[in-house]
Amino acid sequence: MLSKRFVRTAVAGAVLALAGAVQAQQTSVEVLHWWTSGGEAKSVAELKKILESKGYGWKDFAVAGGGGDAADTALKARVVSGNAPTAAQVKGPKIQEWGNEGALANIDAAAKEGKWDELLPPVVANVMKYKGQYVAAPVNVHRVNWLWVNPEVLKKAGAQPPQTWDQFFDAADKIKKAGLIAVAHGGQPWQDATVFESVVLGVGGADFYRKSLVQLDEASIKSPTMLKSFDTLGRIKTYIDKDSPGRDWNLATAMVINGKAGMQFMGDWAKGEFTAANKVPGKDFLCINSPGTAGSYTFNIDSFVMFKQKDPAAQKAQLALASAIMSPEFQEVFNLNKGSIPVRAGVPRGKFDSCATKSMDDMAASTKSGGLVPSMAHEMAIPGSTRGAFLDVVAKFMNSDMTSQQAVDAMVKASKVK
Amino acid sequence: MSAVASAIPPRSLRGLADEWLPRIVLSPTLAMSLVFVYGFIVWTAYLSLTESRMMPSFDFAGLAQYARLFDNERWWTSAKNLGIFGSLFIGISVVLGLLIAILLDQKIRTEGALRAIYLYPMALSFIVTGTAWKWILNPGLGLEKLVRDWGYPNFTFDWLVNSNLSIYTVVIAGVWQSSGFVMALFLAGLRGVDEEIIKAAQVDGASLPRIYWKIVIPSLRPVFFSVLLILSHIAIKSFDLVMALTAGGPGNASDVPAIFMYQFSFNRGQLGLGAAAAMMMLMTIVAVLVPLMYLETRSARSAR
């Protein structure tokens, strides 16, 4: 009796599983991502809805933890075993590394149909291409060179929101004198690097930034401008409270929100912390470009990279996924939830707040002026190994008595790490 | 023994089963450890000789990864930190554990409760220990703030955020976690010391410290070996404690080889370099353990 029932259940289960597998092969896309927190999960659900309305299934493959490290490991295992997901959250030069492994699918068909070449800034489109063919679909743009300011603190200290480095240090001095922390910062290597790249951009300008931190030109890295950047960074260091090592970025943002600190260098994901605390942009907090970077824009773009599929039906589903990611509807909803801005032109901007619209305007302007550059700290510019070596240098500079000249020498050495 | 062996009658089926069954039962375990431990050690050793980047590759590169490793300043920082952490962690744990064990061995009334209290930290994972100590040692919310609030505004204890001292906070947390365990091992050893010898020494008029120094502690020799074996491998592969406590910071000031290996292998796409670092860690363990085990087996043989 028992064994009969067992057999029946097992057979039924097997049939179901088989049917499921067939169905999955025909119409489902499997997407590996690490967007599991509140707003992000909502955004992913939106993508699922769009695809389901087109008749494709959605197989969620969320791997949380470690800022994507865990997902990365899972992805490697899947690709090596010859069972790659339809798409995975991969960004920046890592797309090229996957391309070199020969694992990526060509989605030019979707790009041509959607006119991606016209909708995306060329700098961005290049990140999404491997050997001239689209292999990834961009989701959003985060701007990194922001300075988040608590106007209340500035008023108390009698300072103005800074636009240049002189104004910045003037404001910082006044805040310090008022007994508050001038610069909220978390001493983690990636946060150190976030400040560092904004300083390089502010001191040297977009061209210098591109030459030194993107093209790794040795003469630029050795130049007095880099030395001056480290001097400026060293000066900023003196306005950071001594408890900063190891502090998470959102705790540093909370210091600005609570009025304990005046300013923070951070990308626009910080905005989510402000709005979650019911603060209004322009009134309770200001988003201004970091000092000296008015015409420039460091971007951090999330994207879904597409893996080769054997089954033609799966390939079709993959193209539908790519089109859905780039659709204005998805770009709008997703970015409203995430705090970033749409990567493509032609998305209605009515629902976005003043920080986001400023970001859109600045991105459009910097695309034209050539001030649009990839973020080094956020893995958009250079291979992970070189970026890691840069981060080691900057972290050491921030946490020891290393001189600017020693830091420059170490940067030259780090730039040769492949 | 040998007389019995030669007199074995023709083997029955039962006898065969007796002989082979244990081997058959153990063989999956043996095969698994051969593949998943020794096999992967060989695999890692091979990877360390290749140009592997994000994925394993098989382009032979000779010792280039080791040259890169030894040219990496951060590697030497982590190696130095391992030296500091390893020696202090093992040294202090052994001394403290032995001291507590000897004190507990004085036939005191509440020994059971005290033993549980000292042993309890071992029940926590290193992540919990690291996180708790991170809060305790954080100058802004832990010990320093507490003492300042008590009315000593000049009290400073900022090792956690000081690049030169942060590795010592790892020692503090590690010792806190492990010395109770060391105590338990020594206590068990102390219970095994022959009472008669101690009584004889007392009759001869030896003082208590002298009895411990000359008789009890030398007889704990095998316990010392076990303790050193366990603590040294905890020290060399320590990862979670450092991750939770300092995350290698400030900057990379409290980096240890295990973190270095993980980050380069899996975050930075330098699998070959990470494998070279892993091999260096293995060599360190071998360098510590082989002499220890050699001494141990030799002393065991000479004692026989």
pLDDT band at A16 (very low <50, low <70, confident <90, very high): very low
Whether residues A242 and B266 touch (CB distance < 8 A) is answered with no
Q: Do A101 and B266 touch (CB under 8 A)?
A: no
pLDDT digits (tens, 9 = 90+) for A101-120: 888 999 999 999 999 999 99
| A76 reaches B (C-beta below 8 A) | yes
Asked whether residue A14 is assigned to any structural domain, the reply reads no
Question: For chain B, what's the residue count?
Answer: 304
Residues A182 and A102 occupy one common structural domain: no
Which two three-digit tokens encode residue A221? 């890295």
CB–CB of B54 and A97 under 8 A?
A: yes
Hey, are the CB atoms on B252 and A188 less than 8 Å from each other?
no
* Tens-digit pLDDT profile for residues A64-97: 765 677 888 889 888 888 889 999 999 899 999 8
Which tens digits make up the pLDDT trace of A379-392?
A: 999 988 899 999 99
Q: What does the pLDDT look like over A206-247, one tens digit per residue?
A: 999 999 999 999 999 999 999 999 999 999 999 999 888 888
What is the distance in angstroms between the Cα of B151 and the nearest Cα belonging to chain A? 20
Min mean pLDDT across A53-67, A284-298, A402-416 is at A53-67
Query: What pLDDT does B301 receive?
Result: 67
Residues A173 and A209 in one domain: yes
Q: Which pLDDT value is given to residue A45?
A: 86
Same structural domain, A315 and A295: no
> Is the Cβ pair A385, B269 closer than 8 Å?
yes
A40 or A249, greater pLDDT? A249
Measured between beta carbons, the chain B residues lying within 8 angstroms of A243 are 138-140, 161
| Residue A59 touches partner B, C-beta closer than 8 Å | no
Question: Is A246's CB within 8 Å of B246's CB?
Answer: yes
Which carries the bigger pLDDT value, residue A260 or residue B112?
A260
Residue B132's Cβ-count burial label (10 Å; 0-12, 13-18, 19+) is: middle
Nearest residue on chain A to B162, judged by CA atoms? A399
Chain B residues close to A245, C-beta within 8 Å: 160-161, 166, 246, 249-251
Q: Cis before residue A189, ω within 30 degrees of 0?
A: no
**How much is the pLDDT for B1?**
42
- Considering the domain architecture, whether residues A207 and A137 belong to the same structural domain is answered as no
* Judgement on whether residues A304 and A294 belong to the same structural domain of the protein: no
Q: Which residue of B has its CA nearest to A101?
A: B55
Compare all CA atoms of chain A with the CA of B246 and give the residue at the minimum distance.
Answer: A246
Which residues on A lie below 8 Å from B268 (Cβ)?
A: 384-385, 387-388
pLDDT in tens, A293-325: 998 999 999 999 999 998 888 899 999 999 999
Contact assessment for residue A33 and residue A62, using Cβ atoms and an 8 Å cutoff: yes
Which of residues B277 and A9 earns the better pLDDT score?
A: B277
Within-domain flag for B92: yes
Q: In chain B, whose CA is at the least distance from the CA of A248?
A: B247
User: Quick check: is A310 in a domain?
Assistant: yes
Both A132 and A202 in a single domain?
no
* Residues of A in Cβ contact (< 8 Å) with B130: none
- Over 50: is that where the pLDDT of B141 sits? yes
Whether B208 is covered by a domain: the verdict is yes
Within a domain: A53: yes
Among A333, A357, A381, which residue terminates a domain? A357
Query: Where are the strands (E) in A5-124, listed by range?
Result: 28-33, 57-62, 87-89
Is residue A22 assigned to a domain? no
For residue B274, give the nearest of B288, B286, B258, B290 by alpha carbon.
B258
**CATH number where A204 lies:** 3.40.190.10
Domain shared by A180 and A54, yes or no? no
Confidence (pLDDT) at B302: 65
**Does residue B30 lie in a domain region?**
no
Average pLDDT across chain A, whole number = 88
Task: Report yes or no on B95 lying in a domain.
Answer: yes
Interchain proximity A246–B134, CB inside 8 Å: yes
CATH number at residue B101: 1.10.3720.10
Chain A residue closest in CA terms to B262? A69
In chain B, the percentage of residues whose pLDDT exceeds 90 is 42
Q: In Å, how far are A90, A118, A193 from A343, measured between CA atoms?
A: 16, 12, 24
Domain extent at residue B197: 64-303
Res. A414: pLDDT tops 90: yes
Nearest chain A Cα distance for residue B164, angstroms? 8
Determine, for residues A388 and B263 on separate chains, whether the beta-carbon distance falls below 8 Å.
Answer: yes
Query: pLDDT for A127-141, tens place per residue?
Result: 999 999 999 999 999
Of A98, A243, A384, the CB nearest to B139: A243
Contacts of A82 (CB under 8 A, 6+ apart): none
Quick: pLDDT tens for B158-194. 888 888 899 999 999 999 999 999 999 999 999 888 8
Q: Would you tell me how many other CB atoms lie within 10 Å of the CB of residue A255?
A: 23
Last residue of a domain, one of A321, A336, A357: A357
What pLDDT is recorded for position B10? 59
The CA R_g of chain B, rounded to the nearest whole Å, is 25
Give chain B's domain count.
1
pLDDT at B11 over 80: no
Tell me, yes or no, if A248 comes closer than 8 A to chain B by beta carbon: no
Domain-located, residue A125:
yes
**CB-closest option in B73, B249, B267 to A245:** B249
Same domain? For A103 and A252 the reply is no
Cα–Cα distance, B72 to B89 (Å, whole number): 26
Does the interface ipTM go beyond 0.90? Answer: no
Residue B212 belongs to a domain: yes
Interchain contact, B160 vs A192, CB within 8 Å: no
Cβ-based contacts of A398 with chain B (< 8 Å): 250-251
Total domains in the fold of chain A: 2
Residue B276 counted as domain residue? yes
Do residue A179 and residue A316 come from a single domain? no
Considering the domain architecture, whether residues A118 and A157 belong to the same structural domain is answered as: no
Same domain for A84 and A160? no
Task: Tell me whether residues A101 and B54 touch, CB distance under 8 A.
Answer: yes
Which domain does A188 fall in, by range? 146-299+368-414
Residue of A75, A396, A402, A416 best to disrupt the B interface, most CBs of B under 10 A? A396
Residue B271 placed within a domain: yes
pTM of the model: 0.85
Q: Reading across the β-sheet that carries A286-289, which strands appear in turn?
A: A181-183, A261-265, A146-149, A286-289
Q: Is residue A13 part of a domain?
A: no
Q: Does the residue A289 lie in any domain? A: yes
Q: In this structure, are A313 and A274 located in the same domain? A: no
B9 occurs within a structural domain: no
Q: Tell me how far apart the alpha carbons of residues B288 and A225 are, in angstroms, rounded to a whole number.
A: 49
Would you give the distance in Å from CA A294 to the centre of its chain?
A: 20
